[in-house]
Structure 1
Amino acid sequence: MHIDPAMAGRVLKLPHTSSLAPANARSSSGSPPCGLPCGRVLPVRPGRANSWPAVATAVSKSRPQVGENAAISLQNLVYMDGALAVSLGLVNGTGQRKPEQWPSSHDDTAEVATAEPPLPGSHEVRPCFPTYPPRNMHRQLSTVDVLEKIGISRHFAVEIKSILDVTYSCWLQRDEEIVLDLETCAMAFRILRMNGYDVSSDDLSHVSEASSDFSDTVSLLELYKASQVSISEDELILDSIGSWTGCLLKEQLSSSPVQRTPLFREVQHALDSPFYTTLDRLEHKRNIEQFDAMEHQMLKTPYSPGQTSQQDLVALGAMDFSRIQSVYQRELQHLDSWVKESRLDQLPFARQKLAYFYLSAAGTMFPPELSDARVVWAKNGVLTTVVDDFFDVAGSKQELENLAALVETWDEHEETAGGCCCSSEHVEILFSAIYGSVNELGAKASAAQGRDVTGHLVEIWQELLRSMMTEVEWKESGHVPTAEEYMGNAVVTFTLGPIVLPALYFAGPKIAESVVTGPEYNELFRLMSTCGRLLNDVQTYEREYVEGKLNSVSLLVLRSGGSMTIEEARREMQGPIDACRRDLLRLVLREDSAVPRPCRELFWDMCKTCYFFYSGSDAFSSPDQKAGAVDALIHLPLQLASGNLLSGLDFSDSL
């Protein structure tokens, strides 16, 4: 890897601990002072801080196998061949930690590589979080925000938890450093809530349009973003803040002083793309490429000599993105081969949506250790789409009944390894692909969970085919379901069950059978599927009407007796969509939950994916509307503008 000589003498201060899930959502006991605890220290072997060629070679020889839950944590990269790979921070101090001071590598949510203990006489490097003065809440939160925006917060889970625990304590005390500064207050509310801390929107009651500085674009932007993390339709304060800050920001966009600046781009992006309509990894790439737009976050307190700069953090994010992008490329190649081996590409009626499903998997479940989850998500996404197309446009009634019967009598095919009496070649290809994939993934999931879960995966497919057959019968008989009948069946036929639910078994934690059959698990699924189905219905009602299918929009018009237009029905759907999204986010973020947080996050990931494809249009059905996003995430390297301070770095050799 090539690095600017001016930066070659510096080493990024990197923490040891990585976590798949955000830190625990509670403050520690007592009320600690509102300052940042001192970070842990890590070793750098003497004389090896700038061993870039050795590191690049080590990385190229240690690429993971696709679908084997291969974890290439950043710690692996950092300690390969005794070299600290990211040469971007400052070496601080010398000495040696005692063994008992080293943090534990045990983590229930992910496999995390353990850094080796320091050698005698080695340098020690402090984490990238600088030691701030006790009263500098804005700087601390800005650092956390930047780490989350560029996708490397998982490498700093312990440090982030320390900051947020202190911030939460100060929030509960109504500390004036938070309350009196609108930008800090809004940022604290948003970050604390999204990391699972119990913060009430009532604590923003002092924020009003009359009390705000209309010229302070940064504070308005933070307030607008805070208003989007609503978890209840009763949070009228957030609705109000979102309304007036949105109007003021739009007014500022039309004024010349703000235009053509990095802040202008960030405001425009926030207004155009609410956070729940975006894919995380695409946002990380955008923020790295345009990291000058984040500079405003760090301006309230100047850097002191020896502190890690925002540029250092973003450079680490750039290296992390480039390294993991090569993992995505190999996984997609593996999946493409599977499609061909399964003969799914030979079905002329089927939409080929592998790239879109893998985009949604890698765009949300982006850490490398979630390889199995991404592969399961994408495979089942392809299968459900092909089956859905078969039911909608290609299969005869006999073929559909045949496929449904084969899935229903799953166990009868075990002795013949999937051999069956298929009424057509299309049925044979479909059932063979479903049967082989479910059994293979079930065996992997069972090994990961320590119990047999294959039966659950089969039941998910059986329920889907039963519900699809119900729609066939409705269409054939001319039955017009009630809204309740329609949604009860449609949350299943939207096909998210086989995509999301098996992936939960690869998210890290073990999931007890009592959790899978419990009310919270089912409510998470219902809210996710309802939100996705309604988003889809709003955009696809015309196509489905031509196909002779009813959806929630056409049913609403029909039940109104002609008094409601299609456009009015579409607008009417927005209320239930918003309510489902808010309720889902509340379940995902709450602390007292039977379903582990990493698993709950997958329901939210799919909700965001549905918004990504169905906000404003039916982008999923378009072969190229999201093709640019696929290329950006998987194929195209980071595009750093010539004026960007990272543009002198070459990340290609690290792949």
Structure 2
Amino acid sequence: MHMEMESSLLSIETLVKKIKKEMFSNFDLYSFVSKSAYDTAWLAMIPNTQHCDHPMFRGCLDWVLRNQKEEGFWGESDSNGVPTIDSLPATLASMVALKKWNVGGTNIKKGLAFVHENAEMLLKEKQHCLPRWFAIVFPAMVELAQETGFDVADNLNGVLSHAFYKRQQILKIEELVDDYHYPPLLSYLEALSSTCDIDREFIASYLSEDGSLFQSPSATAQAFMVTGDDKCKDYLLSLVQRCPYGVPAMYPMDEGLIKLCMVNQMQKLGLAEYVNEEIEEILSEVYWTYEKHEAEMRNVNLNPQKIYKDSLAFRLLRMHGYKVTPWSFCWFVHHEDILTYIENNSGCFMSAMISVYRATDLMFSGEYELKEARSFSRKLLEKNMVPGCEEDNLVMIPNLQEVVEHELSLPWIARMDHLDHRFWIEANNVDALWVAKASFYRLSCLQNKNLMKLAVENYKFRQSIYQNELEELKRWSKERGLSDMGFGREKTTYCYFAVATSSTLPHDSVVRLLVAKSGILITVADDFFDMEGSIKELQCLTEAIQRWDGKGLIGHAKIIFDALDDLVSDTAKKHLHQQGSDITENLHDIWRETFASWMVEATWSSTGYMPSLHEYLDTGMTSIAAHTMVLPASCFLNPKLPNHKLKCCQYETITKLLMATTRLLNDIQSYEKEKLDGKTNLVLLHLNRSRQGEIEDSIAYANEILDEKKRELLKLALIDDLNDLPKPCKLLHLSCLKVFQMFFYSTNLFDSNTDLLHDIKKAIYIPPEYQIHKPLKPLLPLFPSTLEKKYSKTQSHLIRTFKYQSTRNFIGQHFTRTTSRVGYEKMVISPKFKLCFA
């Protein structure tokens, strides 16, 4: 095992060097943005002004020739390699470009075969919820293909009529440029020539200073062919010079946004630790720009790209300790007309709203505009996840539904970092940047094999560390007699899983094991006080802890004391050896305080005493013992917690907030159990003091306090100069809060023996499932009889995904999907529901 880990570490180091060279050293930012086959094909159609029988941009034509997919299509596909409806206009445009210059006969035949065999199936799924961009572009490309001599319409009579009807409605209702639709109709100029009489002067009046028509390469290509404007030509020449091997769907692009997305990608894959210096350099540059232009950020250029960038910048900067204001991106929440505009054009704002929603995870006290932005973005995301919505974005961004469900189902504060990294590794290709005119942007580093290989290797390397440490922890627990007490909860694995997955520090073995051992001891001792020990036994154990002498203890009390004494002694020795100071007495005091609080609560229960809310919380903050796990471990971080911060009377505000929030989280989910056990907690105390109150009111009261204290803690944990506590110590406090949120978010997972087992397996034992998917050929329909036969014996099996997008509509009539925490799909026969796949 040791040799395997060394080999894995060497492989990781090699990959890190490659990634740094590829992504952070003298790189071209445009190389990280996906190419648009549709826009490249339009540039390939432009004739040379000097030799009209030759293309102006031969490189674009060559790109079209070289970048046809094996199945015959051009354009986008989902994470399984299955073409999206974006592939239809892209394929038609590419075929037209090749035919115009009489090249690529084989490519054209394959493209035509793809359209004939698959267009109807791709369109049938979405014929009643076609996105606006598609309804504008696709009919025009069909007409253009027909004019070029391709017979594509006859096979599509059944599904094409709806697209043409929707285009007719759009052209009837919308003006070429208005204040209600994004992007405006004129940005689809290449698709309007046959239906609208647009004069050259009108087109020229909307050209940007750079010569483009709404930064759209395809629309500008058409504008140049119509007007011959030199500004358009200069724009196109500049574009091709910068992007000679295929052009993006929008140009120019915000290079700062590309850099932010690279940082975001490294963090989501769990790789930020390897490029910390590079990340800090990028964020420092972003922050300088942020400060310089903060006053200009509001009410300027309302578009998805800007909102996406500003909200992403806010989240990344705040996560890294910078002081930033929410107004940089959520100023729009106080403008009803803008909110209406975004709702009316929600298809183009989906990626932006996901980014806004993520940014609001980092809400501090008093930031009400973030609360409003969170509510608005969540409402819009939920609305667009409804199958059959008018602006169905599931066809635009592959696996968007999976991403939205991931974000909305469990808040960031309750998600474990390690498992989050796994989600993004396995999701593959789901994180589009922002919606463009007729496609979407995506970082091509998502397809970087070295990057994804590094993410997988790094995840598996962490798992090998976690497996070894968990086995060591199990041996310790068994040797100390803690795993065989015969009462209470045996939570060795749970405790280790929580501390290992909440943090992104893979090599801090001392810290993880110390927190986990403390958690095991706390669980066993707390259960002894709650359910096993008599008042006399508890009093004897508490007194032994106070004098730190276990003489006279027997049975369970002796086992607990001896294990605790061993843990404290071992911790103090390691600290003396590593840090050069003795913290034995500090550790004794923390544990004395904790045991004393348990004794107080046990006395309350035995006597029926009802403390005041203040009295209860003062004791309960200590008895939850979060600080008992975090503070000793913080002494081994780098930089470490100063010794004097261990003293009971000198706890930092962030520590007190952690103690309060973890107590409240526990109380909100455990009040029913504690009521049956004859104990009390904050929810029950509030209910008893509310003469005509309902339990829901008491829960709301506790949640209100909890939310406020969480936001205060988050601010202290993230912002660098609010206190003198070392950053790693503050982040360990935040990790502990995330653990308690995970255990007590909507139910009491800590007391369940089964709910977390699969997450534990995924975190520690099961390697991530990742591969570069290649679509299968040929892409043909599966007949119902074949499908029924294939799945008749697999109704209860867990099935990862389907190979063909074309079969999903049929499958939806026969199965419903239930999604578990592990992200698999269980198929259950039911003709009543329609399955909607992302």
- Could you tell me the TM-score, scaled by structure 2's length? 0.60
Identity percentage of aligned residues:
28
- Aligned-CA RMSD value: 2.8
Q: Which amino acid aligns with 2:319?
A: M
User: Does the aligned pair in 2 maintain the 1:182–1:207 contact within 8 Å?
Assistant: no
- 1:89: Cα distance to partner? 5.5
- The equivalent residue for 1:324 is 462
- 1:343: Cα distance to partner? 1.0
Cα distance between partner residues in 2 of 1:505 and 1:326: 25
Matches within 5 A, 1:430-509: 430-509=560-639
Cα distance between partner residues in 1 of 2:394 and 2:346: 16
Q: Which amino acid aligns with 1:195?
A: H
Q: CA 1:187/1:480 → structure 2, altered by over 3 Å: closer, same or farther?
A: same
User: Does the aligned pair in 1 maintain the 2:12–2:454 contact within 8 Å?
Assistant: no
User: Does the aligned pair in 2 maintain the 1:150–1:287 contact within 8 Å?
Assistant: yes
Cα distance between partner residues in 2 of 1:183 and 1:172: 18
1:282 and 2:179 correspond: no
- The equivalent residue for 2:282 is 163
Task: Name the larger-Rg structure.
Answer: 2
Cα distance between partner residues in 1 of 2:416 and 2:464: 18
1:339 to 449, 461, 477: 477
> Secondary structure in 2 aligned to 1:631?
helix
User: Does the aligned pair in 2 maintain the 1:137–1:177 contact within 8 Å?
Assistant: no
**Worse overlay, 494-503 or 614-623:** 494-503
Provide Cα deviations, 1:35-76, integer angstroms capped at 9, x if missing partner. Answer: xxxxxxxxxxxxxxxxxxxxxx9952639xxxxxxxx9x6x5
Matches within 5 A, 1:153-552: 153-174=272-293, 180=301, 181-208=306-333, 209-210=339-340, 212=342, 213-215=345-347, 216-232=349-365, 234-256=366-388, 257-259=392-394, 261-296=398-433, 310-410=448-548, 413=549, 420-422=551-553, 424-517=554-647, 521-552=651-682
> Secondary structure in 1 aligned to 2:773?
coil
User: Does the aligned pair in 2 maintain the 1:401–1:469 contact within 8 Å?
Assistant: yes
Cα distance between partner residues in 2 of 1:268 and 1:214: 17
- 1:402: Cα distance to partner? 1.1
- The equivalent residue for 2:719 is 590
Provide Cα deviations, 1:225-257, integer angstroms capped at 9, x if missing partner. Answer: 11221111x111101101111111101010343
Cα distance between partner residues in 1 of 2:590 and 2:28: 51
- The equivalent residue for 1:576 is 705
Q: CA 1:495/1:518 → structure 2, altered by over 3 Å: closer, same or farther?
A: closer
User: Does the aligned pair in 1 maintain the 2:634–2:729 contact within 8 Å?
Assistant: yes
Cα distance between partner residues in 1 of 2:591 and 2:26: 47
- The equivalent residue for 2:818 is none
Aligned length: 531
Gaps of 5+ in 1: 1-56, 64-71, 93-124, 414-418, 648-655
Provide Cα deviations, 1:491-537, integer angstroms capped at 9, x if missing partner. Answer: 11112122111111122213323444498843112111211111111
> Secondary structure in 2 aligned to 1:344?
coil
Q: Which amino acid aligns with 2:314?
A: F
Cα distance between partner residues in 2 of 1:473 and 1:159: 56
User: Does the aligned pair in 1 maintain the 2:645–2:651 contact within 8 Å?
Assistant: yes
Cα distance between partner residues in 1 of 2:322 and 2:705: 26
- 1:78: Cα distance to partner? 5.1
Cα distance between partner residues in 1 of 2:274 and 2:571: 29
Provide Cα deviations, 1:529-570, integer angstroms capped at 9, x if missing partner. Answer: 211111111111011011111101100110112x11112211
Cα distance between partner residues in 2 of 1:316 and 1:405: 53
- The equivalent residue for 2:229 is none
Cα distance between partner residues in 2 of 1:202 and 1:298: 23
User: Does the aligned pair in 2 maintain the 1:89–1:128 contact within 8 Å?
Assistant: no
Q: CA 1:78/1:203 → structure 2, altered by over 3 Å: closer, same or farther?
A: closer
- The equivalent residue for 2:238 is none
Cα distance between partner residues in 2 of 1:526 and 1:184: 35
- Could you tell me the TM-score, scaled by structure 1's length? 0.76
Cα distance between partner residues in 2 of 1:58 and 1:427: 38
Gaps of 5+ in 2: 31-252, 334-338, 776-799, 801-838
Q: Which amino acid aligns with 1:596?
A: P
Q: CA 1:474/1:88 → structure 2, altered by over 3 Å: closer, same or farther?
A: same
- The equivalent residue for 1:33 is none
Cα distance between partner residues in 1 of 2:321 and 2:266: 17
Cα distance between partner residues in 1 of 2:608 and 2:649: 34
User: Does the aligned pair in 1 maintain the 2:576–2:582 contact within 8 Å?
Assistant: yes
- 1:221: Cα distance to partner? 0.8
- The equivalent residue for 1:106 is none
1:137 and 2:256 correspond: yes
- 1:641: Cα distance to partner? 5.9
Compare the two structures and name the one with the higher helix fraction. Answer: 2
Q: Which amino acid aligns with 2:673?
A: R
User: Does the aligned pair in 2 maintain the 1:365–1:374 contact within 8 Å?
Assistant: no
> Secondary structure in 2 aligned to 1:293?
coil
Q: Which amino acid aligns with 1:383?
A: L
- 1:292: Cα distance to partner? 1.8
User: Does the aligned pair in 2 maintain the 1:168–1:192 contact within 8 Å?
Assistant: yes
